[in-house]
């Protein structure tokens, strides 16, 4: 069993209305059942509802306007993700439910069927359940483990890679509970 760990970045402002937010980066890490990284994927996505990124969004994510201006639209980005996955079997994972909800919203907005299967692991909940530690954001979990953050916080690919580091700690226990 493989695990597809996904982190999204989305259009945002100081006050967010989720129904107005759109994915602007898809970061993904594919791990095997031991938590070892098999491969990574990253793409920017061109938004259509709010095509101009707010200053707040650019500051938070470090994603530049030209990154999204030159990016594929959501449907093409999802097709690239699926092509990258090929015929590999996986379970979709994210840190919390936000990423799944945002993907569902974007799929509906673009008229495509949600392509990542019906099973979803909320790694934040699984980590808390398996370790007995509280449910914290990924950056606070990394700090609590005494680790340094790797990469840029609030960048999809870097957030997904850091989630994969935490996933490696619980992969064996998670697999055992699924058998």
Cα→Cα distances 53→23, 62, 67, 83, 108, Å: 11, 11, 10, 28, 21
Phi first, then psi, for residue 115 (nearest 5°) are -95, 5
Distance, CA of 51 to CA of 69 (rounded, Å): 8
Q: Which tens digits make up the pLDDT trace of 158-169?
A: 999 999 999 999
pLDDT surpassing 80 at residue 175 = no
What whole-number distance in Å separates Cα of residue 22 and Cα of residue 10?
A: 5
Residues in the chain: 179
Q: What is the CA radius of gyration of the chain?
A: 16
- Residue 125 sits at the vertex; the CA angle it makes with 19 and 28, to the nearest 5 degrees, is 60
Instruction: Find out whether 27 and 8 touch, Cβ atoms under 8 Å.
Output: yes
What is the reported pTM? 0.95
Span 47-98, pLDDT tens digits: 999 899 999 999 999 999 999 999 999 999 999 999 999 999 999 999 999 9
CA distances from 87 to 33, 144, 156, 176 (A): 17, 36, 23, 24
Q: Which CATH number fits domain 2-178: 3.40.640.10, 3.30.420.10, 3.60.20.40, 3.40.50.300?
A: 3.30.420.10
In this prediction, residue 177 has a pLDDT band, given cuts at 50, 70 and 90, of: low
Which one-letter DSSP state was computed for residue 40?
E
Domain boundaries, the chain: 2-178
What does the pLDDT look like over 83-93, one tens digit per residue?
A: 999 999 999 99
Confidence of residue 22 (pLDDT cuts 50, 70, 90): very high
């Amino acid at each position: 069993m493989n695990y597809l760990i996904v982190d999204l970045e989305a259009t945002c402002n100081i006050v967010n209305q989720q129904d107005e937010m759109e994915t602007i980066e898809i970061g993904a890490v594919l791990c095997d059942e031991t938590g070892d990284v098999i491969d990574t994927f990253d793409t920017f996505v061109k938004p259509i509802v709010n095509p101009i990124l707010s200053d707040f969004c650019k500051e938070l994510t470090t994603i530049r306007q030209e990154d999204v201006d030159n990016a594929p639209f959501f449907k093409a980005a999802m097709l690239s993700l699926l092509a990258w996955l090929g015929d590999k079997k996986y379970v979709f994972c994210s840190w919390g439910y936000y990423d799944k909800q945002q993907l569902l919203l974007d799929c509906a907005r673009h008229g495509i069927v949600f392509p990542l299967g019906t099973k979803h692991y909320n790694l934040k909940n699984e980590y808390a359940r398996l370790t007995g530690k509280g449910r914290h954001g990924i950056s606070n979990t990394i700090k609590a483990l005494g680790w340094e953050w790797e990469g840029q916080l609030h960048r999809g690919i870097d957030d997904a890679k850091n989630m994969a580091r935490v996933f490696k700690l619980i992969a064996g226990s998670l697999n055992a509970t699924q058998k």
